[in-house]
Structure 1
Amino acid sequence: MRAFRIRMPSGDAYWTVIDDDYEVQPVADRYLRELRFGRDRAESTTKAYAESVSLFLRWALSTRRDWSTAARDLGLFIVWLKHTPARSDRALAGPGVDPVRGASRINKILTATRGFLLFAVTASEIPSWVTEQLYEVADSQDLPMAAQNESGDLRYRMRARHGLHQPETAVDRATDAEIVALFKACRNARDRLIVFLLARAGLRRGEAAGLRRCDLHLLPDNSVHDCSVAGAHLHVVRRANPNGAWAKSRRQRMVPLDFLTVRAIDLYLLERDEQPAAANCDFMLVNLFREPLGAPISIGAINELFTTLGRRAQLPRGISPHQGRHAFASNLADSGAMLDEIQTLLGHASPQSSKPYLHPSAERLRTAIDSVPSPREMTEGLS
């Protein structure tokens, strides 16, 4: 069993699961098509889910289990995942054997597997009792206080039965000094623009790679674009892209651009015009220095760029593209932006989603303490 990419006649693509005879697994295929087109998920999401479902089906096949009832043995599936290499069906469990997958990866595989099995139950493809093997009823008392109902009322929810504990790894922001170092390490205008789009416009990798030239409105008067927004800005639009780029939010959003980013765009467009292969491509960011020339860049290319820039700048730690987005949000907060403004600029549906992106600087924390007035009685007692 393995994941396999399917391109539809419309040009859209999704990932499915095939066996060694290149036969599509029908229930998994229906689930993954529903995920891609019915729930409007990214192609990359169906790829990750297809890889996870294929592992579950491969485990069931290699251990001679019927996948439709194998949910009762998910604990053994976790052991298999922990010790079985990707291209082998033989578990290498035993004392002194290092796990081949970590808790985070295993939990993601379990999430996809539960989704697949729940879909199969809903579609009456497998017995309904499988749901009881996947979830148990739990109340809200075991949730953190921040996640409990303010009224204190007891609420019930479905909790996954299987999963591994994993420590929380909060994403830190890239500091201004690190962003400047990455910027200085760039050797062309396109790479400098990519750093700016993530660190000064807060775009995700998929949003930057999916930008079209028509999404950028750079004139003071945007009546030429039939746009009511004044000033330089860009629009983040969710659409299917041949390079797999995908805007996470279904809602289109507008992001104002500062002078430095507009200047970076101007310099990049001059550089882009020197590559004839890019003339007919509507994507903003394209391959200028490697094949296929003129084609839209991939999301992976942005990851590779940040790795290269960090090494070239000799930074003591690696900086990911997403840390540039965290830097954008934190700088907004440090400059006095309200949470609802940060939420809108980041494209989050809820203010709660924006809070993990805020990393107050030490200076702002000191200012917050110093700005609290002291009662006169306390001041006099210390004089």
Structure 2
Amino acid sequence: MRACRSARDRLIVLLMARAGIRRGELAGLRRADLHFVLDARPLGCPVPGSHLHVIRRDNINRASAKSRNSRAVPVDALLMQAHDQYVIERARNAAAADSDFLLVNLFRGHIGAPMRLGAINELITSLSRRAGLQRRVRPHQGRHGFADNVVAAGGKLDELAELLGHDSLLSSQPYLHPSHERLRDAVERVPSPRLFLEGPHS
């Protein structure tokens, strides 16, 4: 995050890491997909709390959601704050005003045009290098990190599948990477029979 040089770049990183958004879903988001309000019913949306919608569309930048089924993903205050900062940054660029795409070119290329999928890869590679990371980070790793955090915080497999947009629980299983601490906790939760602890003659 400290390697980011713009509010837009911080928002991109947070959308992948805190909402589990795929690269194609990210580049295809429209401003109208973000319901960052407590009550979205005036917008015609029954989903409670702040959230974003992932919707499969044909986009001019070739970005696309993988699943045919739309989903709503809850967002936290950190992500909403990053979005607010990006809105201010974007408003300074008149060429970006007419685009319905959330993420647009602000600094190079065709200003105001929706970001390309490759530009997101280039950004993450550049941020990894700028942050001095030893290995290259790919956009999809943010999604894996999101899944790890949801499960570590007590999230269930069906909740994870819904958040990630998986039709089957089996599709979510590759995203489960139990840490050594979680594995130890799992073993320690299994009760030990007193018979084995105290011996037969106690």
Q: Shorter-chain TM-score: what band?
A: over 0.9
The 1-side partners of 2:11 and 2:52 are apart by 13
What CA deviation, in whole Å up to 9, does each residue of 1:224-259 have, x standing for no partner? 211001111000010100001001100111000011
Correspondent of 2:177 among 335, 347, 359 = 359
Correspondent of 1:217 among 11, 29, 35 = 35
Matched position secondary structure for 2:72? strand
Amino acid at match of 1:305: L
**How far did residue 326 of structure 1 move?**
0.6
**How far did residue 339 of structure 1 move?**
0.6
1:10-159 equivalence runs, <5 A: none
Q: Which runs of 5+ in 1 are unaligned?
A: 1-182
Correspondent of 2:188 among 354, 362, 370 = 370
* TM-score, structure 1 as length reference: 0.51
Name the residue aligned to 2:72. Answer: 254
Correspondent of 2:16 among 174, 193, 198 = 198
Amino acid at match of 1:334: A
Q: What is the percent sequence identity of the aligned residues?
A: 60
Correspondent of 1:337 among 148, 155, 179 = 155
The 1-side partners of 2:52 and 2:24 are apart by 15
Larger Rg: 1
Name the residue aligned to 2:167. Answer: 349
**How far did residue 291 of structure 1 move?**
1.8
Q: Find runs of 4+ consecutive structure 1 residues off by over 4 angstroms.
A: none
The 2-side partners of 1:282 and 1:361 are apart by 41
Matched position secondary structure for 1:254? strand
Q: Which runs of 5+ in 2 are unaligned?
A: none
The 1-side partners of 2:112 and 2:22 are apart by 22
**How far did residue 373 of structure 1 move?**
1.0
Amino acid at match of 1:186: C
Amino acid at match of 1:330: D
1:296-307 equivalence runs, <5 A: 296-307=114-125
Name the residue aligned to 2:107. Answer: 289
Aligned length: 200
**How far did residue 360 of structure 1 move?**
1.2
Correspondent of 1:208 among 14, 17, 26 = 26
Amino acid at match of 1:240: D
Name the residue aligned to 2:6. Answer: 188
Name the residue aligned to 1:90. Answer: none
Matched position secondary structure for 1:185? coil
Correspondent of 1:318 among 125, 136, 142 = 136
**How far did residue 378 of structure 1 move?**
1.6
The 2-side partners of 1:192 and 1:379 are apart by 53
Amino acid at match of 2:116: S
Correspondent of 1:280 among 98, 110, 133 = 98
What CA deviation, in whole Å up to 9, does each residue of 1:150-200 have, x standing for no partner? xxxxxxxxxxxxxxxxxxxxxxxxxxxxxxxxx111111100000011110
